[in-house]
A and B are shown apart, each in its own frame.
Chain A
């Protein structure tokens, strides 16, 4: 049965590789009747499981005296396990005799075992006090994270204020680079997504409205839907997935690499150099991407209505003209920079919070994406309520 386990396969290979000239020779077995533990052949580290099984059998039987016959050499790891076995039995008042080729390592092992280096921390069940402490720790981490966000916001505002006064501080080349990476390079995917979504909504709209003979309203559905909500929202979600994660990961690795500290040590403000250009680039790029998405969404709607409803393009445009007012377009577009700001802030903040480990980097990148999408949708809901109230 063991042969099916990959670990056993590795162990076999490890044993064989040890000395390819000789076949596997080590075997260990415990004879309960004679209270004898017989080790035959050289025990390499790869043979440790075999040894442990035999030692386990001997531990279970627990005879009053055990004779250990050692037939070959033992690696350091197996010697240590054997030594621990002997020590345990002797501590329990049993008699253990080592016979045969007693490993020469034992003297070295006795020596290192005698060194006082403390005890191995065990995996005990946490006490109630420790659980409370862990809870408090988690709570504190939450509070710290809010505090981080506050400091982050403050420092960013400060650098933005400085940048406002001097154009050099604004780092235009950096902003342009990030606009290229997050904007221009995102055009294909945003365009395709917008096209597909408008096709889907046109298709469902036409199907649902047909029983009422109101297929023509499919045009209203698609155009208003895309312009007011879908275009900007899908763009924001795409950008959050693409750029929010990239910002967090990029800044996180820089943080792990001490690059952020290096900037600070050179008297540069990391918020000005790293955060501001990224956030600014997203604020600028989001409306542009939204226009692309709107255009592609309308194109998709026109395509599908002309195909499904036999509606010629000219009629689509006429219908579009009557259903859509100026504000429909602006109601979508005005949200774009806000979404860009939210995504940019979340990504950079989470990136700068990375410390210590690669796992933290992964966690905070995930947090950046999830939170920015959540914030975008939440903000969108607020916008919807506000626009309804002011009749925009």
Chain B
């Protein structure tokens, strides 16, 4: 894996809204099989960066290359087909409230592939088992699910087409610590067994510490990328405050628990 080329290459991304510059030359690489965290203060443009990577927003300058193909230069039609290659979960799940869980998970598959009902049902079962949901949940509507289940269904839907890359926006926000930790386990497990590449925006320091191999911090319209250990000792005042502030105590004994690094 060491010699593999990066799966996502972002170069000199500039995003601005009117006068306000959000990103001014953001560059980083994501390696295959890596869990890559993106953090930053409110308004630092995490979601904008994620939307740029996803091709939902065209940057004002710069390029995004995913698996050797330049997303930022693709025509809309081509991009639409390409987007099926990666799975996305949104902060609030973004499940279709008028569809059942099974229909939510089936939607991307049935839209893209000509499959019979039995196979679709089998695949729903697979995805539900993958994310550790009871199968009865299939017939439920999103309004009947708890917050943790919504996130899991969103992940199941994101996994529906066997993507190579997963983009997760705040996957553990709003979950209780137990559910959040179970979600971390799940992401690690999927990465380890399926060699997925995961890009996640998160504010959850525990998730960051447990899952992410490298972290990108958005500060001053630029990005600082390093391993978590490297970021934690960074001298930038915002980063110091972020990791060593009142809520950053987790970081003082970084990941001794399960990575063994």
- List A residues at the B interface (Cβ < 8 Å): 2, 5, 7-8, 10-11, 13-14, 17-18, 20, 44-46, 48-49, 52, 56, 75-77, 80-81, 84, 105, 108-109, 112-113, 115, 117-121, 355-359
Query: Given A117-B135, A358-B97, are A17 and B84 also a contact pair (CB < 8 Å)?
Result: yes
Residue among A18, A80, A119, A359 facing the most chain B CB atoms (10 A cut-off): A80
Contact between B143 and A356 (Cβ–Cβ < 8 Å)? yes
Of all chain A residues, which has the CB nearest B130? A112
Query: Given A13-B81, A359-B97, are A49 and B136 also a contact pair (CB < 8 Å)?
Result: no
Partner of B97, one of A8, A75, A84, A356: A356
Bound state CA distance, A357 and B85, in angstroms? 29
Residue among B114, B123, B133 facing the most chain A CB atoms (10 A cut-off): B114
Bound state CA distance, A7 and B129, in angstroms? 26
Main secondary structure of the interface of A (DSSP, over half): helix
Bound state CA distance, A356 and B194, in angstroms? 35
Contact between A120 and B85 (Cβ–Cβ < 8 Å)? no
Contact between B194 and A17 (Cβ–Cβ < 8 Å)? no
Q: Can you offer 25 A-B residue contacts whose CB atoms are under 8 A?
A: A7-B111, A10-B81, A11-B113, A14-B81, A45-B162, A46-B161, A48-B115, A48-B123, A52-B115, A52-B116, A75-B162, A76-B162, A77-B162, A81-B119, A109-B126, A112-B129, A113-B129, A115-B129, A115-B132, A119-B136, A120-B121, A120-B138, A357-B141, A357-B142, A357-B143
**Proximity bits, B140-176, A CB within 8 Å = 1, else 0:** 0111000000000000000001100000000000000
Query: Given A17-B82, A44-B162, A118-B136, are A7 and B112 also a contact pair (CB < 8 Å)?
Result: yes
Residue among A17, A46, A77, A113 facing the most chain B CB atoms (10 A cut-off): A77
16 extra A-B contacts, CB within 8 A, seeds A115-B129, A356-B141, A357-B142: A7-B112, A48-B113, A49-B115, A52-B116, A52-B119, A77-B109, A108-B193, A112-B129, A117-B132, A120-B121, A120-B124, A120-B125, A357-B98, A357-B141, A358-B98, A359-B97
Bound state CA distance, A13 and B124, in angstroms? 23
Bound state CA distance, A7 and B85, in angstroms? 16
Partner of B123, one of A7, A56, A77, A117: A77
Closest CB in chain A relative to B237 CB, distance in Å: 36
Closest CB in chain A relative to B124 CB, distance in Å: 7
Q: What is the interface size of chain B, counting residues whose CB is below 8 A from a CB of the partner?
A: 40
B115 to chain A: which residues have CB within 8 Å?
Answer: 48-49, 52
- List B residues at the A interface (Cβ < 8 Å): 69, 81-82, 84-85, 96-98, 102, 109, 111-116, 119, 121-126, 128-130, 132-136, 138-139, 141-143, 161-162, 193-194
Of all chain B residues, which has the CB nearest A108? B193
A115 to chain B: which residues have CB within 8 Å?
Answer: 129, 132
Bound state CA distance, A5 and B115, in angstroms? 12
Closest CB in chain B relative to A115 CB, distance in Å: 6
Report the number of A-B residue pairs with Cβ-Cβ less than 8 Å.
109
Bound state CA distance, A233 and B109, in angstroms? 50
A76 to chain B: which residues have CB within 8 Å?
Answer: 126, 130, 162, 194
Bound state CA distance, A82 and B102, in angstroms? 21
Question: Which 5 residue pairs spanning A and B have beta carbons closest together?
Answer: A359-B98, A356-B143, A357-B97, A45-B162, A7-B114
A109 to chain B: which residues have CB within 8 Å?
Answer: 126
Of all chain B residues, which has the CB nearest A362? B98
A20 to chain B: which residues have CB within 8 Å?
Answer: 69
Closest CB in chain B relative to A79 CB, distance in Å: 9
Query: Given A8-B114, A117-B129, A357-B98, are A14 and B161 also a contact pair (CB < 8 Å)?
Result: yes
Query: Given A48-B119, A357-B141, are A117 and B84 also a contact pair (CB < 8 Å)?
Result: no
Query: Given A49-B114, A49-B115, A112-B130, are A121 and B123 also a contact pair (CB < 8 Å)?
Result: no
B69 to chain A: which residues have CB within 8 Å?
Answer: 20
Bound state CA distance, A125 and B9, in angstroms? 52
Bound state CA distance, A270 and B80, in angstroms? 43
Contact between B122 and A84 (Cβ–Cβ < 8 Å)? yes
Closest CB in chain B relative to A257 CB, distance in Å: 11
Bound state CA distance, A56 and B122, in angstroms? 14
B161 to chain A: which residues have CB within 8 Å?
Answer: 14, 45-46, 77
Bound state CA distance, A386 and B102, in angstroms? 56
Closest CB in chain B relative to A20 CB, distance in Å: 7
Closest CB in chain B relative to A173 CB, distance in Å: 31
Bound state CA distance, A108 and B193, in angstroms? 7
Contact between A49 and B84 (Cβ–Cβ < 8 Å)? no
Contact between B113 and A49 (Cβ–Cβ < 8 Å)? yes
Contact between B114 and A5 (Cβ–Cβ < 8 Å)? yes
Of all chain B residues, which has the CB nearest A47? B113
Closest CB in chain B relative to A353 CB, distance in Å: 14
Closest CB in chain A relative to B15 CB, distance in Å: 26
Partner of B134, one of A8, A45, A117: A117
Query: Given A13-B81, A17-B85, A121-B138, are A77 and B126 also a contact pair (CB < 8 Å)?
Result: yes
Bound state CA distance, A359 and B121, in angstroms? 24
Query: Given A45-B161, A358-B97, are A117 and B142 also a contact pair (CB < 8 Å)?
Result: no
Contact between A18 and B123 (Cβ–Cβ < 8 Å)? no
A356 to chain B: which residues have CB within 8 Å?
Answer: 97, 141, 143
Query: Given A17-B84, A118-B136, A359-B98, are A11 and B126 also a contact pair (CB < 8 Å)?
Result: no
Closest CB in chain A relative to B8 CB, distance in Å: 16
Closest CB in chain B relative to A35 CB, distance in Å: 22
Of all chain A residues, which has the CB nearest B84? A14
Contact between A2 and B121 (Cβ–Cβ < 8 Å)? no
A119 to chain B: which residues have CB within 8 Å?
Answer: 135-136
Residue among A13, A45, A358 facing the most chain B CB atoms (10 A cut-off): A45
B113 to chain A: which residues have CB within 8 Å?
Answer: 7, 10-11, 14, 45-46, 48-49
B136 to chain A: which residues have CB within 8 Å?
Answer: 118-119, 121
Of all chain A residues, which has the CB nearest B196? A76
Of all chain B residues, which has the CB nearest A114? B129
Of all chain A residues, which has the CB nearest B116? A52
Bound state CA distance, A52 and B123, in angstroms? 12
Bound state CA distance, A112 and B128, in angstroms? 10
